[in-house]
Amino acid sequence: MPFYPEDAEVPRRLDGDGFVLRPLRATDVDIDYEALMDSREMLRVWDQGDWPSDDFTREENLEDLERHEREHDERSAFTFTIVDPTESECLGCVYLYPLKTILGHMGADSGTLDGITDGEAYATFWVRRSRLADGLDERVLTALVDWFGREWRFPRVVFGSNSEDARQLDLFAAAGFGRLWEFPVPGRESRYVLFGR
């Protein structure tokens, strides 16, 4: 079974409170790159790695966006850019992956993996550092929960973060999500944390 049903149309757009969500394309490279580099220190905490590095280039970003666009078109994963209503500024990104695949990468045991259906999704997102003060991340999460329930055919969507990202942990808790699983992040003292209802 594919990650997303072949007979289901992939939702194309979400108009939110002060933002728009639409598929990320390679043509977004300039606005995406600017947002990444503006928020790189925050993103390293969010990603639990060194991405994007200080010397991360526009060309490297273009390669990433081409991969995301290809995965989106193949329906193996979905990446959406969060843009302002004029679509001239990138405000962040939303990523949707098969939950079973993500749990496998995180080191889940076979008993846990056996309980996951192929259509379940793992969602993670970030908003640029300069927009945290106005609560954009909270508005995005609220809109995503509604959108997933209303327009998508996932049987379940689990949200992910990590133990170092206190803001997202608080955001998910305030939205009524409980912790479902935690897994160690290789080479770090932090843990991946997955939330659901």
For every residue of 148-196, DSSP letters joined together read HHHH---S-EEEEEETT-HHHHHHHHHTT-EEEEEEEPTTSS-EEEEEE
Q: How far apart are CA 57 and CA 84, in angstroms?
A: 23
- Picking from 22, 20, 141, the residue whose alpha carbon sits closest to that of residue 80 is 22
pLDDT at 2: 64
Given a cut of 60, whether residue 68 has pLDDT beyond it is yes
**Does 65 reside within a domain?**
yes
CB 103 within 8 A of CB 78: no
Q: What is the pLDDT of residue 3?
A: 86
153: domain CATH number? 3.40.630.30
What average pLDDT does range 116-129 have in this prediction?
Answer: 95
Residue 18 has pLDDT above 60, yes or no: yes
Q: Establish if 191 belongs to a structural domain.
A: no
pLDDT in tens, 69-119: 999 999 999 999 999 999 999 999 999 999 999 999 999 999 999 999 989
For residue 165, being part of any structural domain is answered with: no
Number of structural domains the chain divides into: 1
Q: State the chain's mean pLDDT as an integer.
A: 95
Average pLDDT over residues 124-149: 97
Strand order in the sheet with 14-15: 14-15, 20-23, 78-83, 90-98, 121-127, 157-162, 191-196, 178-184
Secondary structure (3-state) at 31 = helix
What is the value of pTM for the model shown? 0.96
- The pLDDT score that the predictor gives to residue 118 is 85
Domain interval for residue 134: 14-100+118-157
Alpha carbon distance 65, 33 (integer Å): 10
In whole angstroms, what is the distance from residue 127 CA to residue 136 CA?
7
Kindly state whether residue 75 falls inside one of the protein's structural domains.
Answer: yes
Is residue 55 within 8 A of residue 104, CB to CB? The reply is: no
Backbone φ/ψ region at 132: left (φ over 0), alpha (ψ -120 to 50), beta: alpha
In a domain, 175, yes or no: no
